[in-house]
Amino acid sequence: MSDTPAQLPSAAGDRATEVFVGHRELLFSVVYNLLGSVSDTEDVLQETWLAWARRVRQPDAEEIDNPRAYLVRIAVNQALARQATISRRRETYIGPWLPEPLLTRTPEALDSPQGAQAVDAAESALRTESVSMALLVVLETLTPLERAVFVLHEVFGYAHTEIAEILGRSPSAIRQLAHRAREHVQARRPRYQADPHLQQQVTERFVAAALGGDIAELMSLLAPDVTMWTDGGGKVRSALRPVNGRDKVARFLNGYATSRLPESLDIRYQQVNGDPSAVVFSGDSPYAVMVMDLNPSNDQITDIYLVTNPDKLSRVRLDESGEPTGAPRLAPDAVPELELDPEREDAHPREAGRRADTP
């Protein structure tokens, strides 16, 4: 019979749950940035919980001085182990694959200095836990180890020596991986963050032009070398390859708007992976999430990411006030319904080295 958190010895079970829930947000953020998939991230968190609870419940187990380092090590290595399965799945994926969008809320009082400061603070907080859709797409071109090193170092601020402990590699090997990953990302995605107000304005103008069939406005907004990525996953009609070039993208959008869209659409503007984006509903059901990336020199749209795969929109919904919301993380007051099977032979990662409190 499988053990559950409630069946652990009381003190150890309470402590295991408390520590895991306390680090749940960090673990989710790290793993999501490694995998780009919420469902895979939740599976990895479950495996992390299983390994953690087994370790804590051992009657003769030594106390772990740094639970967070230990949990991050388990989660990262579980994510890396899942990469082979994910790669096989991607080989049969229909059309371009895009990361599963993460919706977040920011304050709406943009017209006041206090509101603007609050938005900036919220965006800064988001940046520490999830990167933009555009950067996630670039990270897909790295090897799993390069991506892990890049995410841990560049996004979460881990030192190379700490990453070496997590991945079981030498510090010199980690520095080489970090150098390759940084050069690769920089060549494809120079560091640039558009002004969020401007990005929202461009997004709203783009959606209005696309839905209204205003080709002239579309052409003015699109960069000459713009690329549009549409991820329908074979579940809904979408382009099977990226659409490249201003003329082709404008024609594609015009045809899409006139022949493929439902009669009634509700457009909401929401933060997705830290960027102002369009969230489209048909009735109460999510229809699409659209994210745009801008050119730093002229603020024209260089990349359009359109996610219509219903599997990737299953967590996007309208709340009681009619606003879009997402539920990518575990419930705040409980771990999921996880079972501890003593017959499972999951690896027990060694405890990672000590690290400072700041991620």
How many CA within 13 A on the CB side of residue 239? 20
Structure-token pair, residue 25: 């947000």
* pLDDT in the model for residue 213: 87
pLDDT tens, residue order, the chain (359 aa): 344 444 445 555 677 888 999 999 999 999 999 999 999 999 999 999 999 988 888 777 778 889 999 999 999 999 999 998 999 999 999 999 999 998 875 544 344 444 444 444 434 434 445 688 999 999 999 999 999 999 999 999 999 999 999 999 999 999 999 999 999 999 987 766 678 889 999 999 999 999 888 999 999 999 999 999 999 999 988 899 999 999 999 999 988 887 767 777 899 999 898 889 999 998 888 999 999 999 888 889 999 999 999 999 988 876 555 566 654 443 333 344 333 333 333 333 323 333 333 33
* pLDDT in the model for residue 259: 74
**Residue (of 70, 142, 147) closest to 351 by Cα position:** 70
**Residue (of 288, 234, 291, 242) closest to 262 by Cα position:** 288
Structure-token pair, residue 154: 């560049």
Q: What is the C-alpha to C-alpha distance for residues 220 and 227, in angstroms, rounded to an integer?
A: 15
Please calculate the CA angle 298-299-305 and round it to the nearest 5 degrees.
Answer: 140
* pLDDT in the model for residue 16: 82
Sign of the CA dihedral 273, 204, 194, 240? positive
- pTM of this structure: 0.80
Q: Under 8 Å CB-to-CB from 43, ≥6 apart: which residues?
A: 82
* pLDDT in the model for residue 326: 59
Do 128 and 273 touch, CB atoms closer than 8 A? Answer: no
Please calculate the CA angle 300-301-305 and round it to the nearest 5 degrees.
Answer: 170
Backbone angle region of 292, left / alpha / beta, with phi > 0 → left and psi within -120 to 50 → alpha: beta
* pLDDT in the model for residue 305: 97
* pLDDT in the model for residue 316: 83
Buried b / exposed e across 2-21, counting CB within 10 Å, b at 16+? Answer: ebebeebeeebbebbbebbb
* pLDDT in the model for residue 11: 57
Buried b / exposed e across 40-76, counting CB within 10 Å, b at 16+? Answer: bbbbbbbbbbbbbbbbbbeeeeeebebbbbbbbbbbb
